[in-house]
Every structure is written in C-alpha cells, then in structure tokens.
Amino acid sequence: MSSDPVTPAHESPRAIVAGHGDFAAGLVSAVQQITGRGDQLIPVAVKQLSVEAIEQLLRDRMLEANVRVIFTDLQAGSCTMASRRILRGMDDAVLIAGANLPTLLDFVFAEGRSAPEAARHAAERGRAAIAVHGAGA
C-alpha cells in the first residue's frame, strides 16, 4: 500500500487504451482531468490503419512501454481483434473489451494489484457502474 495517498505509486504507463476515432484520447483525457493519473494510460488511435498495422502498432506500444494490459472500446472492433491476436502469444497479458470511464478510473487507483489483476477488477467496476435513471428505470 502506498504510504502517501495523494502521490500515485505508478508513474510509468501500465496499460494501452485503444478504440474507434478519438475514443482513447478522450477517455485518457477524462482520467487525467479527474485523477491526474492519466499518464498510467497510453492512448492509441488507429484511424486509417489496416488490421495488420493496428496489430503491429499495439504490439510495439506494449513492448516499448513494457505493459501487458489493453483496454478497447468494442468487442467487435478492430482494436479488439488485433489485441486478441497479440494475446495469443503473450500469456501474461490481458485484454478488457468494452471499457468505459469508470473502468479506467478504478484501474489507475488499483496500485496494490498487478496490472492484469487491476484490469480484471476494473472491468467488474466498469460493468457495475452502468445505471439507468428516469423514465422506465
């Protein structure tokens, strides 16, 4: 456990965030604005890239930053497909498809866990954070 609750224990990146359009940059920007811990996340945009190029880009980013966690936006998305191919040869890595802002907020505060454990915990938190209010709720 961190002795200083204000200072993040992790200053280096712990995960990739990738998805359609500006999804990744937008979510990481939101995480930074809310927590100041956006530097734990590497946003990756894949506009105009082929499937092979997406896979190579994500793999390169993971290896460069030595991270083993990928968050993507959509189960059917190209980033998810590419990530699943990467995971096939990387037994210690984890992919969370369908990530949302509550997912990432939980992840950046889960300093006592390994990154893959934190990602799994964050996925459950993100799933539970969806609520319906108002008419019909």
Partner 1 sequence: MSILLYRIDDRLIHGQVVVGWGQPLDIEFIVLVDDVVAASDWEQELYRMGVPPEMDLYFHSAASAVSALPGYRADGRRGILLTGDIDTMRRLVDGGGIDAVNIGGIHAKAGRSPRMRYVFLSAEEETALRDLAALGVTITAQDVPNARPVALNEVLAGVEP
CB 71, CB 23: distance < 8 Å: no
User: Is residue 10 classed as helix, strand or coil in its secondary structure?
Assistant: coil
**DSSP character for 113?**
S
Q: How many residues bind partner 1 (CB under 8 A)?
A: 18
In this chain, which of 59, 61, 84, 120 binds partner 1, going by CB under 8 A? 84
Per the structure block, which two tokens stand in for 113? 């866990």
CB 56, CB 46: distance < 8 Å: no
52 scored as a contact of partner 1 (CB under 8 A):
yes
In this chain, which of 2, 22, 36, 75 binds partner 1, going by CB under 8 A? 75
Per the structure block, which two tokens stand in for 120? 């799994």
2 scored as a contact of partner 1 (CB under 8 A):
no
Give the nearer residue to partner 1 in terms of CB position, either 99 or 108: 99
Q: Considering only 36-44, 75-83, 109-117, 123-131, which stretch makes contact with partner 1 by CB under 8 A?
A: 75-83
Integer-rounded Cα Rg, in Å, for the chain is 15
Chain residues that interact with partner 1, rule: CB under 8 A: 20, 47-53, 74-78, 80-81, 84-85, 88
